[in-house]
Structure 1
Amino acid sequence: MEAWFRAYAPYVNLHPDDEYLPSSVDWFFSNGALLYKKGEESQPARIEPGGVNLPKGGDPNDGLYWLDLPGDKEARDKVSHGDIASAEAYVHFKPGVLNGTFTDIQVWMFYPYNGHATAKIGFIDKVPLGKVGEHVGDWEHVTMRVRNVDGVLDRVYFSQHSGGKWVDASLLQFRNQTVKRFTWYVSRNGHAGNSEEGLFLQGPGNDVGIRNDWDISDKVVDTGARFVVVASDGEAVEEPPWLSYERKWGPTQKYDTAAEVRDARKLLPGKLKEALDNLVKVIDQVFGKDGPTGPKSKTYWTGDEA
């Protein structure tokens, strides 16, 4: 299975204008990330190497624990922008998928911060949305589905915010035609995955939506060179302590979505104001305001991607 991963390991291609880059989990911890407990907010704990002092399991929706950036403004700014030099992929093997026909290889990337969103409203290409979309601790993944009979890559699932999509292997963009390792495009600030460059709008339609921008750049992570196998359903793997932390990787956001877009709304002409109002109604469905959970808390950690 590890040989299969090395054969197809994707290149993570970040947007050239992305301000919020990935890092390793250990870099996040060692640079001042904090563990908070409800009722003891004034005394957050520094996270120890590997996350050995993080609580295990529990209900991710009970609001009892969450992680956050360092309290110091300078350190907070540094950590939020990540450290691409330390970034590594976290790999999970799921053999025996679809009656043993396939092996799924999940490849997870961690981002200390998810940046602000931008909208397209009709003929106005870029409308800033304030703090909308911002949150601490962002986990994104692709799943490579490999045929067990011959080890051929069949398709790839790209996570995109609260959903995602499957792409046939024949439609992937490979770095070269000799080595079949594909490009995993990551959207600007939001880190949604895609198989190609371009723009996709999430929202009510009619040329109105939240922008997902993918473009080629020199900000690239070679997951085949920097990865850790953190779990396997088929064999014993020493899991890192942080993997069993199933609470929130960031605090719940407290901003008012309508208030955040108020300044932008003032600048829009007539009917475009109404279009922005319609977009506001779906923004929280796309992003949510709860802090995100880690890989093991996702339904598709053990189940199938929709």
Structure 2
Amino acid sequence: MTDAATPLAGWTHTYSGKVRDLYRPEDGTDRMLVVASDRVSAFDVVLEPAITGKGALLTTLSLWWFDQLAGGDGGRAIPNHLLAGATPPAETDGRGMVVQALEMLPVECVVRGYLTGSGWVEYQQDGTVCGIPLPEGLGNGDRLPEPIFTPAYKAPLGEHDENISFDRTVELVGAERAAELRDTSLEIYRRAAALAEAKGLILADTKFEFGVDGDGTLTLADEVLTSDSSRYWDAETWRTAETPAARMASFDKQIVRDWLAANWDKQGTPPALPADIVTRTAAKYRELLDRLTA
């Protein structure tokens, strides 16, 4: 049974994604309960067993980052969706956040500070990332001259998100709001990257989701700067490792992806994850949280 089936007094379950479950209050107030489950997905499928403790680790890290971005790091306060003083049900075991209901914007705000992943593939072919020209001579895992904003359109459930241009973002949300999304995303990335660097970590890239409250204020929502939404590397390993794979070992579910890629042909039901893969993945999530918040 998934967390989505768990009855919570005063709340009605309304939706479950691959990782998060959403609940609405039975009193009709303009709130939501977001619960991060222990589920883990790869290659668009939810796997078994879950990663024990993952939901609480993700939520704890999101809450810590929301606090930093609310001025805890010395920067300006970025509005977020947390409702001050609201306590999630005890049954959520540290995995829940009570948040303000927002009008969510259909743009996933991706910021890249390093060349990797799909960006590296495109750069090798065209010298660009999401259509943005980059200097010649960059290698896999190299730092970009400046962080770049590469938005994506949040596709309907069951479909893949689509990389879009800034002009397309303007068409979707308007010129003023598009500029605000870009500028705020780059600001958050730079602040978070500086804090991570001070802890011996590299924030290679990340993605944000924003909504708008009743007053029209742009508001940071969902999770923020977690292992599931961001790519973190160890700074010393990045400087000294001899291969791209080694220098870019990340604090996320890459262990799961690698094991599944080697043991499943993406046909039928995926095999169950071995106990050591589950344990090692949970340890990576914990290590990131401990290093950032120490």
TM-score, normalised on structure 2? Answer: 0.28
TM-score normalised according to structure 1 size? 0.27
User: Greater relative contact order: 1 or 2 (C-alpha under 8 angstroms, separation 6 or more)?
Assistant: 1
**Structure showing the higher strand proportion among its residues:** 1
